[in-house]
Amino acid sequence: MKRLIQMVVAGSLIAAATACQLIEVPILTFYSIKGIEVGVPSMPYYCYSKAGLEGLNREMEEAGVPVTLADAFNAAYGETLSEIDPDGRTGKININMKQATRSFQKILKAKKVPNAGHYILTIIDTARDQGLILFAAVYRPRLLITVPAKYDPSIIQTLNPENPDFYLPYQNDDKGRLDTVYEWAALPVQSYHRHSHQAVLFALTANKILEKKQKPEYWNEEKKWLAGDYMSVAREQDKIYCEFLGIEEGFSEEF
């Protein structure tokens, strides 16, 4: 039987002394292998203490996933898991999606993923003031794209990896189909504010990319999100995965 890892919440992320969870929910336990199977939507329920991170890495090793948390720390930050500060208070944090994508691509390159430089991490942050973001990891075959602006389609933009708007998802460009989504999730904004959180995000995402299972349902969820119905996206996701993980109350109850 897989080892149980106890997910103990002592407060919200602001309570930095605990460095455990992104939200405040009742004390709960579940097999962390289930969280690995879920992928990025499980992020709000991991413990980010040193013991929690080491436990997650052991589960990944025992599950035989291609990318462990230790792999992510090593490739993205040049750190061993034993060296990390769970609070992530280092200069190695990625402050924007361009930097995050480049760090993430290092992990894929270390695993010899073909065309690693074409995998892009994206965020739609129209609900940032409400505490939520919409994350997606996509494969983009072209790195010079001409697309309608995400938030004003009347504007046509030509973008490359140096442009901030490049790190938004685009279903099509002027040449046809563009992004293929391999992972996505509605998440609290704090989900990537510390490098320990980013490393978990990177590891979970890399494993989903290596599964090569497309998630085309993302585009319908994005439409709802951009129309202002972001809470229904978050709550629907929460309902599905809380049932799978055995959690009575999900992160969306905090909003």
Query: Tokens for 218?
Result: 């993302």
For 101, 213, 223, the CA distances from 252, given in Å and listed in that order, are: 26, 26, 19
pLDDT of residue 8: 25
What percentage of the chain exceeds 90 in pLDDT? 64
- 153 pLDDT band, cuts 50/70/90, is very high
Residue 88 has pLDDT above 90, yes or no: no
Least confident of 34-38, 70-74, 102-106: 34-38
Calculate mean pLDDT across residues 27-36: 60
Rg (the chain; Cα; Å): 17
Top-confidence residue, 52 or 19: 52
Please tell me the predicted confidence (pLDDT) of residue 87. Answer: 63
Asked whether the predicted pLDDT for residue 135 surpasses 50, the reply is: yes
Tell me the average pLDDT of the chain: 85
- The fraction of the chain above a pLDDT of 70, given in percent, is 85
Looking up tokens 């189909």 gives 177
* Alpha-carbon gap, residue 92 to 56, rounded angstroms: 21
Q: How confident is the model at residue 48 (pLDDT cuts 50, 70, 90)?
A: confident
